[in-house]
Amino acid sequence: MAAFAQLTTFQRQCFEENGYLVLKGVVSKAETERFLREAVEPAMREQGFPLFDFQPQLDPSGSTGGPIKAQDGGDHPIRGVDTRWPAFFESPVLRGALDDLHGGPESVVWDWDAGARKGVGWIHPRWPVAHDDNRWPPTNWRTLGWHTDGETHYISTRQSIVVLPVVTPISQGGGGTALIQGSHKKIANVLFTAKQTGEHLCKEAYRQVVDRLVQLTAETDIVETRGSAGDVLLMHPFLVHAGSDANYGHPVRITFNLATKFIPQHTSYPSCVRAVAACVRPSWIQMDEGHLALGPIFGLQNVATGHYLQVNGETNRVIGSYGNIKIDKNGWWRLLPYEGGTHTFRSVAAGKFLNLSAGSMADLATVHVWGDTAAAGGQDSRWHIVYEIDGTCGIKSQKSSRFLMLPPSPITLPQNPEARVFGTDLNPIPSNDPTCNSSKLPTNRWRLIPLLI
């Protein structure tokens, strides 16, 4: 596997100071042109936007372009293998830069988020339009529609670097993203102050903060993004930016807008929480002629809804909606045959998969355990293995940051309302360790129930 290229000290300083970085040569020019020709253009033409036959608009009041979604309204108009553009997502230049900005390759505490978990997402074209004034910044630059991406009106450790691949070359006046350099520091300071004082900015208040910042910005702080095909713009999530028009005489500008998320480290958790290399196959999971044999029935009951998470080797159903926890014919999940080192459950209702890998994996590994395919992981997975607490294996949700704790043996304990196993934070079976006080952790949604046969 190719070594990931880290950023230079100068590149890192530029990103920290200015809030953005144009990463050169992430994808080769030839591959980018192929992607444009074989993936982007057919997807646009299918929806009535002929990329290569486009006629520039002479009317400056005409549309300058908006995101192109899938025909069914979904996030991915590009289909096939290029939905998740391999040359882009697997680029050692890009991976190295994102690893570096998230703390270095040893940490690997980031992942793709939202639509980027499955592919490049919406196509973002900018149609060239004739203007009387082609200067940069444009005369009306204060009204460009300045904003930050995502839910950035509060401090969030989840939202991270915004990634915009440049598919067509962008020169001066060619529709490059407009940036207010250094604005990420001012936004971060406002949000941090609000957090410290116990305040919470509503979206309208946050909008006013951005508008005020724009009004106080000097024209010299406005930057026009430029780049060659195959470059990538990296932006801090708090960086204030806006779209700009592509002027007459430029080609149609094509980019994408992808999100990443930061996965918080676990160093602040109680000392009874320890990272493990392998804790996915408790002793009660046995192999029997290619199928899972899960031992006697045990259950977990949802405190809020009364639903049950059950294990029953006879019916191969593991979640029931109510009632008899011994055999629930209305169970929501069923077991699938053991394949490729993976124990798999499949949702009867939603078709989703819960994959428990039998192999060893490092703490915070990218091998996920819940997704749209029966495999050891994948971009569509929602969960990954993280911790063991007093013999209890932990799976952390990529989506909600909740934890699912798997007991190391069949549950034979008496009913214990405090033995909650699914919640917003780590909450193990009560421990004798004084540093592991479960009463200080958020209430979990699930609790252990007695073994019933």
Residue 34 confidence (pLDDT):
96
Residue 378 confidence (pLDDT):
41
Q: Give pLDDT tens digits for 397-411.
A: 555 555 555 444 433
Mean pLDDT computed over every residue of the chain? 66
Instruction: Please report which confidence band the pLDDT of residue 244 belongs to, taking 50, 70 and 90 as the band edges.
Output: confident
Does residue 401 or residue 95 have the better pLDDT?
Answer: 95
Judge: domain 9-262, CATH 2.60.120.620.
yes
In whole angstroms, what is the distance from residue 253 CA to residue 171 CA? 10
pTM (two decimals):
0.60
In whole angstroms, what is the distance from residue 348 CA to residue 416 CA? 29
Domain spans of the chain? 9-262, 273-449
Q: Give pLDDT tens digits for 434-448.
A: 443 444 333 334 444
Q: Is the pLDDT of residue 65 over 70?
A: yes
Instruction: Please report which confidence band the pLDDT of residue 115 belongs to, taking 50, 70 and 90 as the band edges.
Output: confident
Q: Give pLDDT tens digits for 356-398.
A: 544 433 333 333 333 444 444 443 444 444 444 444 445 555 5
Secondary structure, 3-state, 135-198: CCCCCCHHHCCCECCCCCCCCCCCEEEEEEEECCCECCCECCCEEECCHHHHHHHHHHHHHHCC
Q: Give pLDDT tens digits for 205-239.
A: 888 889 999 988 988 889 999 999 999 999 999 99
